[in-house]
């Protein structure tokens, strides 16, 4: 029988539980806590839920939930990784684009299930924060929309990642 997983995804912390009969059992992370800092992406092909967790402003981890257990996949997540989205196997498991304070620029990273790799090539205009990204499976593209500048000025543009570069397609 398939298991039911519940994720209370908060903006700062999350709680993951699995149904056992009529009871929800909270999954304790490797640090022994029932809560985990939030960022989640689901890899449909690998049937894995990835959790980007942060213990402190400089201590990031990538954990994977396979339906029965939580496993540490990477203990060296770059500072500039946030909002990962699942992508096709040809593009790697997860893709992340974010403004990186230390580099004062937008950066794109790929996670292959073990390692994060910084990708070069065209980046979306930035700096930008609070944008939305989603994977378009039919066209094998990651789509990024909007966000705002560091000064709070909204962007109404749309960008697409083709596996190599970001291209502005609207706005």
Q: Which residues contact 18 (CB under 8 A, 6 or more apart)?
A: 3, 4, 5, 6, 24, 25, 27, 68
CA atoms within 13 A on the CB side of 164: 0
pTM above 0.85, yes or no: no
pLDDT of residue 160: 92
Residue 24 has pLDDT above 90, yes or no: no
pLDDT digits (tens, 9 = 90+) for 53-76: 655 555 666 777 777 777 777 767
pLDDT digits (tens, 9 = 90+) for 124-168: 877 888 888 888 888 888 888 988 888 889 999 999 988 888 999
pLDDT digits (tens, 9 = 90+) for 92-127: 677 787 777 767 778 888 888 778 888 887 788 778
Band the pLDDT of 30: cuts 50, 70, 90: low
Instruction: Write out the H or E segment, with its range, that includes residue 114.
Output: none
Q: Are strands 166-170 and 48-56 parallel, antiparallel or unpaired?
A: unpaired
pLDDT of residue 72: 79
pLDDT of residue 14: 73
């Amino acid at each position: 029988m398939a298991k039911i997983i519940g994720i209370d995804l908060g903006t700062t912390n999350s709680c993951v539980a699995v149904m056992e009969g009529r009871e929800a059992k909270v999954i304790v992370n490797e640090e022994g806590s029932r809560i985990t800092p939030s960022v989640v992406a689901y890899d449909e092909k690998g049937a894995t839920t990835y959790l980007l967790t942060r213990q402190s402003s400089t201590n990031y981890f990538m954990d994977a939930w396979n339906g029965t257990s939580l496993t540490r996949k990477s203990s060296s997540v770059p500072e500039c990784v946030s909002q990962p989205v699942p992508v096709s196997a040809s593009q790697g498991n997860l893709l992340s684009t974010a403004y990186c304070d230390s580099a004062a620029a937008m950066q794109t990273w790929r996670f292959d299930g073990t390692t994060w790799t910084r990708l070069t090539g065209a980046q979306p205009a930035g700096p930008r924060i609070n944008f939305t990204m989603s994977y378009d499976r039919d066209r094998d593209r990651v789509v990024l929309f909007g966000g705002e500048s560091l000064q709070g000025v909204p962007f109404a543009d749309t960008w697409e990642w083709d596996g190599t570069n970001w291209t502005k397609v609207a706005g």
